[in-house]
Amino acid sequence: MNQSEREEAKRRAGESAAAEVEDGTVVGLGSGSTAAHAIRALGREVDGGLDIEGIPTSFQAREIAIDAGIPLTTLDETAVDVAIDGADQFDGADLVKGGGGAHAREKIVDAAADRLLVVADPTKEVDVLDYPVPIEVLPDARTTVADAVRRLGGQPELRRADRKSGPVVSDNGNLILDCDFGAMPDPAGLAADLSALPGVVEHGLFVDFADEVHVGTETDVTVFEP
Ligand SMILES: O=C(CO)[C@H](O)[C@H](O)COP(=O)(O)O
């Protein structure tokens, strides 16, 4: 799948999930390039009269939603009916997220939603998850968490910025360790181990999160419930 075919697949996946959103609902707005297609599609529906409110999962999602004209709200004000979000990898209902460093807020919003619709291109689907797991850490905990990750069999790497000297700083002011565990046959066990580490704000393993997965191709979309 070349880059333009992949982009088309992402667009189809995002638009397919957006088409499921019903009038009068509150929608969690995911992060990344595939979720961005869904947000823009929802914006076009709002132009056409669809009455929804969005809860963005990141600075990026908020910017796109404002540009698309979607009225915004917060988790302090209302519950979430449905969230639409991308993934870096999925094996069915389990996901690795956080390629954009937004997984902490994504997990809060996606977990709060009655239903999570995952949108992806086919390159993200695997039998066993093996994508490096992003872990957002409090800055003071980056060395102790990295040491603990090594003890759990992972290789941590501090995420560095492209257009700034030094590390990527998350939307929440924290650092991100990309942790390569190789194949992860027991994502639930690893997720529990990572959540127990002092200083971990959130990790990118979303175990049993997806209610529905929309996988786009260059010509079509497949929708399934894991
Ligand atoms: O988890 C995410 C951001 O934190 C994204 O959903 C994930 O990285 C997928 O992004 P894309 O749709 O651009 O491939």
DSSP assigned state of 10: H
In 3D, which of 132, 123, 69 has the Cα closest to residue 98?
132
Distances in whole angstroms, Cα of residue 110 to Cα of each of 6, 26, 65, 139, 160: 24, 12, 17, 25, 26
Q: How far is the CA of 97 from the centre of ligand 1 (A)?
A: 6
User: Strand, helix or coil at 20?
Assistant: coil
The DSSP code for 123 is G
Q: How many angstroms separate the CA atoms of 7 and 39, rounded? A: 15
Question: What is the per-residue pLDDT for 155?
Answer: 98
Interval between CA 25 and ligand 1 midpoint (Å): 23
Is 130 marked within a binding site?
Answer: no
**Using a 6 Å cutoff on CB, does residue 60 contact ligand 1?**
no
**Which element (helix H / strand E) includes 52?**
strand 52-56
Note the pLDDT tens digit of each residue in 63-121: 999 999 999 999 999 999 999 999 999 999 999 999 999 999 999 999 999 999 999 99
* Confidence bin at 1 (pLDDT 50/70/90): confident
Q: Which residues have C-beta within 8 Å of that of residue 76, sequence separation ≥ 6?
A: none
3-125+208-224 is classed in which CATH architecture?
3-Layer(aba) Sandwich (3.40)
Nearest to 50 by CA among 38, 42, 61, 62: 42
Rounded to an integer, the average pLDDT of 41-51 is 98
What is the 14 CA–ligand 1 centroid distance (Å)? Answer: 12
Residue ranges of domains in the chain? 3-125+208-224, 133-201
Q: Is the pTM of this model over 0.80?
A: yes
Tell me what pLDDT residue 199 has.
Answer: 98
Instruction: Consult the annotation and say whether 170 binds a ligand.
Output: no
Q: Is 164 annotated as a binding residue?
A: no
Q: Which CATH superfamily is 133-201 part of?
A: ACT domain (3.30.70.260)
